Amino acid sequence: MMTRNCFFNHPHLSRQRGAVTVILALFLLAVIFFAQQVVTRSAGTAAFNASLQGDAVEAMLLAESGLERATKRFGSGTACGSLASDGPHSIGRGSFTITNSYSTHFDGSTALGASECRVRVEGKITSAKVTRTIEGILDDGSSSPIPSNDAWAVGANSDIWRWNGSAWSLVTSSGSLTLLAVYCVATDDCWAVGASGKARHWNGTVWSDSTSGTSNNLNGISCVPNDGNKCYAAGNNGVMRYWNGSSWVSSSVGTSDNLQGVDCPSTTCYTVEGETSGMMGGSTKGDVYRGNSTGWTRDYYNTSYEMHAIDCYADDDCRSAGENNSSYFHLWTGTGNAPSTWSLQSIAESPVSSRILRGISCPASNDCWTVGDKTSSGGMMGGSDYYTILHWNGSSWSQQMLLDAAPQDMNAISCASANECFAVGDSGKHLYYNGSSWTEQSSFTSNTLYGIYFLPDTPGSPKLLEWREPDS
């Protein structure tokens, strides 16, 4: 008798196996769906994070653009305090704003140098509301000037000498007339003037004569900054000649006394009286006149002492040097545009004897040099001899006498910067200042030198010294 296998053929067991299969399938589908959701969400998060990261980078680039703008403005003369509150400036999807400026380092207390400034800049992506803030310390370039290595000296026999940074060479000697002053607008645009109305021009290649329109001595020359078509030559008997770009014409100052020097810090120029004209002299001695080709006015009335030279760092910052008395050197300081702002500064000459100051140069408002006639400590047994040199430090004048066995009178001085000056004088003597001391240089001529112009150093390029992203 055959036995039937009931286990494999029972109908309830078949139905159970079908149900299990369905459940497993549903579970696998759920797992797959969940995995897909995880993958989708992960991809979305990654894309979102990448977008945020891109916005942050773009905001940083905008902030860096702000630093670049601040650096350029600072290098072009904008004061540190005026760099702030600049913006917003829109670029692409965002903007930058220079929000603040400081005179201190990142620590907020250490003072920065005179040529430095700290700025804070915000870069912002407007639509994403992403902002990055950075701070940078800038240098305007003035602390690292590029030396001009270019100076001109003029004197007897119409000699014109040039310095190339290492040596002096005679460029031309055109006659017996003496040249008394020289000035350059640029390396290829210089004027030299002198006795009997002599005027010569340098075009970068040669010196050529120019008809000044006067036979009076021309004692000083200056031009409006960066404008070779507006130059003024001051001379004896109140003569002022004006170069208009094509010819020399008269520019009446309103005096018949000798004009000894002229300086143009802007389109406004200043000239000073020295020796009075005529056998009997005049009623004035050292007046200051202010003006230009449209007219001149007397800015300061001085009946006591002659002035021989003037230099203005700015319209409101002028200094003049001149005649002495028995006990004092005499200098004047003035703010221009108002006679009452000019004042006499008397500097005690002791222990040296009194001497006249003949040249002055101010590379900065708080840095001026003046030179004049040689001096001696005197005494019955004789004394030491000195080149007369005085220095202004922004608050007072001091003697910086240079001891020498055989000093000569110094007639003119010119500074390219605070670190380089030349002074020239009788018998071809010339002095050099290197930023710390004056020394007498080997003479390149025995003829007297009356005028010197040292082309100013060129400011270095402005730059970003360092930067950071502040915590707050």
Q: What is the dihedral of CA 217, 220, 223, 228, to 10 degrees?
A: 50
Structure-block tokens of residue 109: 């207390």
- Does the structure show a pLDDT above 90 at 138? yes
Per-residue pLDDT, 326: 67
Domains present along the chain, CATH in parentheses: 51-142+461-468 (3.30.1300), 151-454 (2.130.10.10)
Per-residue pLDDT, 272: 95
- Does the structure show a pLDDT above 60 at 286? yes
- Does the structure show a pLDDT above 90 at 33? no
Give mean pLDDT, residues 280-303: 82
Per-residue pLDDT, 8: 37
User: Could you tell me if residue 82 is left (phi over 0), alpha (psi between -120 and 50 degrees) or otherwise beta?
Assistant: alpha
- Does the structure show a pLDDT above 90 at 427? yes
For residue 113, the Cα-to-chain-centroid distance in whole angstroms is: 15
- 3-class SS shares of the chain: helix, strand, coil, % to 5: 20, 45, 40
**Distance from C-alpha of 168 to C-alpha of 95, rounded to nearest angstrom:** 54
Gyration radius (Cα) of the chain, Å: 38
Query: pLDDT, tens digit, for every residue of 208-237?
Result: 999 999 999 999 999 999 999 999 999 999
Mean pLDDT, the chain, whole residue set: 87
Query: pLDDT, tens digit, for every residue of 62-119?
Result: 999 999 999 999 998 899 999 999 999 999 999 999 999 999 999 999 999 989 999 9
pTM of the prediction?
A: 0.77
Give mean pLDDT, residues 336-359: 76
Whole-angstrom CA distances from 136 to 70, 102, 107, 462 are 9, 10, 13, 13
CB atoms within 10 A of CB 8: 7
Under the banding of pLDDT at 50, 70 and 90, the label for residue 329 is confident
Judged by DSSP in three states, 470 sits in coil
Query: pLDDT, tens digit, for every residue of 351-361?
Result: 677 679 999 99
Under the banding of pLDDT at 50, 70 and 90, the label for residue 239 is very high
Is residue 363 reached through a cis peptide bond, with omega within 30 degrees of 0 on the bond before it? no
